[in-house]
């Protein structure tokens, strides 16, 4: 009598990795794109999460991240150090304020954190793209007394923060024209309406 041996059953090992999932890392920005007025202050609001068991060593904002290179800390950059204020903490809030912005500040900005484990770092990409604009007043080339004239205050992009337009004639404010409309309508213009018109914005900053 012969005995046939059953083929050996494959052994299945379940490898349990104790730790955390990369899904626990994350950065959430309130705005992915911000259009700001030249010389104004910009608030970039964000929150971040990281796995339990890690100790946050450093939190900072960076720009123009080059793959393979260590991202620079903007607070240590002479172009930003006097204008950048970190409003967040080392727990969840990573909001910053950047003052006196100009066209040179048009970059993508990202939040980065490092932990007590050297190879456990995180950069929130894509980040916040900043565009800086200035105001221009558009008006008809010729105006005849008695005409109705519409002046329009324009920018190259739509401002992120709510804005109140204040109109001026010969550097004097037109107090009756303080509203959220970027247009100034002059009905039945007279000689005394002649002058140099300009507009400025009062920014109602939204912090989320």
In angstroms, the CA 27 to CA 24 distance is 10
Query: Above 80 in pLDDT, residue 158?
Result: no
pLDDT band with cut points at 50, 70 and 90 for residue 3: very low
- DSSP assignments along 179-207, one per residue: ES-SEEEE-S--GGG-S-EEEEEEEE---
> 162 near 200, Cβ under 8 Å?
no
145-174 mean pLDDT:
78
Last residue of a domain, one of 81, 112, 132: 132
13-28 mean pLDDT:
53
Does residue 165 belong to any structural domain of this protein? yes
Q: Kindly state the DSSP code that residue 93 receives in the 8-state scheme.
A: B
- Asked if 155 and 117 sit in the same domain, the reply is no
Max Cα–Cα distance, the chain, nearest Å: 124
pLDDT band with cut points at 50, 70 and 90 for residue 177: low
Does residue 78 belong to any structural domain of this protein? yes
- Asked if 101 and 161 sit in the same domain, the reply is no
Among the residue ranges 45-49, 113-117, 171-175, the one predicted with the least confidence is 171-175
Predicted TM-score (pTM) of this structure: 0.70
- Asked if 122 and 155 sit in the same domain, the reply is no
pLDDT band with cut points at 50, 70 and 90 for residue 176: low
- Asked if 27 and 101 sit in the same domain, the reply is yes
What confidence tens digit (pLDDT) does each residue in 84-101 have?
A: 999 998 889 999 999 999
Last residue of a domain, one of 117, 132, 147: 132
pLDDT at 188: 82
Does residue 56 belong to any structural domain of this protein? yes
Greater pLDDT, 1 or 163: 163
Greater pLDDT, 166 or 128: 128
pLDDT at 157: 81
pLDDT at 180: 54
pLDDT band with cut points at 50, 70 and 90 for residue 204: very low
Output the six-digit token pair for 112.
């980065």
Greater pLDDT, 66 or 116: 116
Last residue of a domain, one of 104, 132, 160: 132
Calculate the average pLDDT of the chain.
79
Does residue 118 belong to any structural domain of this protein? yes
Query: Above 50 in pLDDT, residue 53?
Result: yes
Query: Above 80 in pLDDT, residue 58?
Result: yes
Does residue 17 belong to any structural domain of this protein? no
Does residue 50 belong to any structural domain of this protein? yes
Domain span at residue 185 reads: 135-204
Q: Tell me the pairing of strands 162-169 and 197-204.
A: antiparallel
- Asked if 142 and 185 sit in the same domain, the reply is yes
Three-class DSSP category at 24: helix
Query: Above 70 in pLDDT, residue 9?
Result: no
């Amino acid at each position: 009598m012969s005995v046939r041996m059953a083929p050996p059953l494959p052994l299945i090992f379940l490898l349990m990795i104790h730790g955390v999932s990369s899904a626990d890392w994350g950065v959430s920005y309130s705005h992915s794109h911000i259009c700001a007025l030249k010389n104004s202050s910009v608030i970039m609001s964000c929150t971040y999460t990281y796995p339990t068991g890690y100790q946050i060593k450093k939190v900072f904002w960076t720009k123009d991240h080059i793959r393979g290179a260590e991202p620079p800390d903007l607070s240590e950059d002479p172009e930003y150090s006097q204008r950048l204020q970190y409003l967040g903490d080392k727990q969840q809030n990573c909001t910053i304020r950047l003052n006196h912005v100009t066209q040179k500040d048009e970059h993508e900005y990202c939040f980065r954190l490092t932990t007590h484990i050297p190879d456990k770092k995180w950069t929130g990409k894509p980040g916040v793209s900043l565009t800086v604009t200035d105001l221009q007043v558009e008006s008809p080339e010729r105006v005849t007394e008695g005409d109705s004239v519409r002046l329009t205050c324009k920018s190259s992009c739509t401002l992120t923060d709510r804005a109140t337009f204040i109109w001026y004639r010969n550097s004097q404010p037109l107090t009756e024209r303080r509203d959220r409309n970027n247009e100034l309508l002059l009905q039945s213009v007279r000689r005394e309406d002649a002058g140099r018109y300009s507009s400025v914005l009062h920014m109602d900053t939204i912090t989320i």
